[in-house]
Amino acid sequence: MVPEELINFLRKAKKVSVLTGAGISAESGIPTFRGEDGLWKKYRAEELATPQAFAKDPVLVWEWYNWRREIIGKAKPNMGHITIAKWEKIFPSFWVITQNIDGLHRLAGSKNIVELHGNIWKVRCTREGIVMENRDVPLKEIPPKCENCGALLRPHVVWFGESLSIEDIEMAEEISNSSDVMFVVGTSSVVYPAASLPFLTKRRGGIVVEINISETTLTPYADFFFKGKAGEILPEIDSRLNG
Ligand SMILES: [Zn+2]
């Protein structure tokens, strides 16, 4: 099922990257927290994950994040995450660019990670801008306060209506611009900048390998498309690579 042609590309590849989205987290049992999945009490994600909602009611927003952290905290990396972490050790240059905020790539052992949308296990001081790790489940106080200055802490994630960090975007573009092979895993490939990254790889002559449970707008442009779960297809490619 894995074409020999892809294995040959991978054997020659020096720079490999993986762009991941909600699909790979879903295989670990993490809901998307959008639409019906995101309903908490009577609120939708789109009503809570905004700077306006936080300004109006930080306790409510933090209670929601506390609930999400409880769910995410129980999830474990799947074979997709584990295979990706393994590949960091076999390719000369290997990077993960993720839209996911759950931290599962790091938990699986990946180190070279660009988290485009932030990380739910990090908090940021609203006054000083300092980012700190916070893994307390449940949180010790809601809303949590900065230990340095006492100001309100916020989740270090990108909310609706907010811009992604320019450093992260530049890093992701640089990786995409130099990848010999880019895997696009479990992302619907419609949201900027993630949607544009595979095209940077293609433009420089690299190949794009898409893995998704259904076709996306990227599929017609992908050099290889695998329909199915990342947790099954990535290990299959890996075993062919070692075979
Ligand atoms: Zn502070």
| pLDDT tens digits for range 3-62 | 999 999 999 999 999 999 999 999 999 987 766 666 788 888 889 999 999 999 999 999
Task: Quote the distance between the C-alpha of residue 108 and its chain's center.
Answer: 13
So what's the pLDDT on residue 36?
Answer: 64
So what's the pLDDT on residue 78?
Answer: 98
Distance 130 CA to ligand 1 centre (A): 7
Burial of 27 (0-12, 13-18, 19+ CB in 10 A): buried
So what's the pLDDT on residue 18?
Answer: 98
CA distance 153 to 126: 6
What residues flank ion ligand 1 with Cβ within 5 A? Answer: 125, 127-128, 146, 148-149, 151
So what's the pLDDT on residue 46?
Answer: 86
So what's the pLDDT on residue 35?
Answer: 61
Distance 125 CA to ligand 1 centre (A): 5
Task: Tell me, yes or no, if 117 is annotated catalytic.
Answer: yes
How many other C-beta atoms lie within 10 A of the C-beta of residue 130?
Answer: 15
Distance 33 CA to ligand 1 centre (A): 29
Distance 110 CA to ligand 1 centre (A): 29
Q: Interior CA angle at 118 toward 132 and 135, to 5°?
A: 45
So what's the pLDDT on residue 37?
Answer: 61
Distance 156 CA to ligand 1 centre (A): 13
Cα separations in angstroms, 84 against 89, 173, 182, 214, 230: 9, 19, 12, 21, 10
3-state secondary structure of 243: coil
Question: Omega of the bond prior to 138 within 30 degrees of 0, cis?
Answer: yes
Residue 147 φ/ψ, nearest 5 degrees: -70, -25
For the chain, residues with pLDDT lower than 50 are none
CA distance 173 to 162: 19
Assign residue 137 a region (left: φ > 0; alpha: ψ between -120 and 50; beta: otherwise).
beta
For the chain, give percent helix, strand, coil, nearest 5: 40, 20, 40
Distance 62 CA to ligand 1 centre (A): 17
Q: CB–CB of 174/196 below 8 Å?
A: no
3-state secondary structure of 83: helix
CA distance 239 to 194: 28
So what's the pLDDT on residue 243?
Answer: 81
So what's the pLDDT on residue 181?
Answer: 98
Tokens standing for residue 38: 């995101």
